Chains A and B, each alone.
Chain A
Amino acid sequence: MLQIFLQLVDTPEEKTKFEELYYQYKQLMFYVAKNILRDDGLAEDAVNEAFLRIAKNFSKINEVSCPQTKNFVVIIVRNVSLNMIKHGKDDLGYEDDAASETADNTFYTTASLDAAFESAHYRTLVEEIGKLPEIYRDAMYLLCVGEYKYVEIATMLDITITAVQKRIQRGREILIERIGEQHE
């Protein structure tokens, strides 16, 4: 209990920064959510949930106006929206059954992922990443560019660590499959 209390430290400057982020990205986030959910009310709910999640992970944001932050907010609101579609009215937001999760136990690091694409043609790699299903692409982005731990990604996306593993593993497999023999 004491530990929980001590973890909350008021920092007013964080609030100002959050306001800046709110005004800068709320229209963009709404557009992304609406594109997925096709409903104004649901899109607003998704944006609200996304901002809550961003607020809880706010220490991970250094600068409001930078590409990384923009990517981060888009990834969060996109995954919230996709989760809403997947789970319907289920408020749990987690995978349904542990026994159905069959991912192997591989935790890829940025280095181990990169090794598979060392000889790939760069432009092809960029294009194929763009074509990856968003749920795989976003998890891989958070690992490779954000350099977040699996547990952090799981918390941000509100999924299990195993689900993060599966998404990264599947994204890697698709990329390898599509890039095939196209080497530099």
Chain B
Amino acid sequence: MSKLSDAFVDAYAGEMADLDARVSAAPKHTFSAGFEHKMKAAFKAAEHRYVRVSHFRIRRAVLIAILIALLVISSLTALALMKPELIYIIKKNSVAWDIHFKQEGATKDTDKIECVKPETPKEFSITNEQKTDESYSIKYKNEEGKFINYYQIFAEGTGYVIDAEKNNIHKTVIDGHKVLVSKKDGMYQIFFDDGVYLYDINGNGDYDAIKNLAISVIDKL
């Protein structure tokens, strides 16, 4: 251990000794029934140990169970008639964030995209605009060479893998809408959903310009 590590260990030992003394002197707290009920989730989480897949030998029985589970989930999803609701799963590891977008409910294969066109940011002009049945994209550029890209696509099956060590990603709220924001090397990316589509706005322009473009989309949802 280094000198600094030793010093931290000693500093925390002192703090814990003091804390122990204060806890012993304090009246014992009786936890509420609500707390004990909520703790079931923590106990359930503790029943699972997260391991690297590469360290795990796949057993045939487990594989069969997984395939059955997948089949049931797929069938239920296909039958669902509720309003589509988008969720995302973010998995952090030492290398990357895997963000998977999943759409609950039904959109037919024949569904065509209903384009949401943002307001063109000040001092930017459209250099490219493309529309297909599944996606809608616009590229903007200003005189300084800064660019902003806008994509609108069906959320189902869409995923992102983002470098975890060099990238800063966080959840936030823009104009009352939950979004994910990532920043790397002067590039910003804002992505969010509306239950059916995923909106992805990115560029090397000023963050406020990118954010305002996101607001103009959110205002139309």
Contact = CB atoms under 8 A, between A and B. Distances in A.
B164 interface: yes
A10 B48 contact: yes
Contacts, number: 190
Interface in B162-190: 164-173, 178, 181-183, 188
A162 interface: yes
B19 A28 contact: yes
Max chain A Cβ within 10 angstroms of own Cβ: one of B3, B34, B169: B3
Contact of A19 (B5, B38, B43, B164): B43
B46 interface: yes
* Secondary structure of the A contact surface, majority rule: helix
Contacts of B16: 67, 70-71, 74
A62 interface: no
Interface residues of B, number: 68
Nearest to B52: A7
B48 A140 contact: no
A85 interface: no
B162 to A, nearest CB: 11
B49 A161 contact: no
A126 B13 CA distance: 10
A94 B170 contact: yes
Contacts of B10: 126
A15 B70 CA distance: 27
Contacts of B29: 27, 30-31, 34, 40
A71 B12 contact: yes
Contact of B22 (A31, A94, A98, A125): A31
Contacts of A129: 7-8, 11
Contact of A52 (B45, B49, B92): B45
Interface of B: 1-16, 19-20, 22-23, 26, 28-29, 31-32, 34-35, 38-39, 41-43, 45-51, 53, 56, 58, 62, 66, 69-70, 89, 91-94, 164-173, 178, 181-183, 188, 207-208
12 contacts: A9-B56, A52-B42, A58-B49, A98-B188, A99-B208, A118-B3, A126-B11, A137-B8, A144-B4, A151-B93, A151-B94, A162-B168
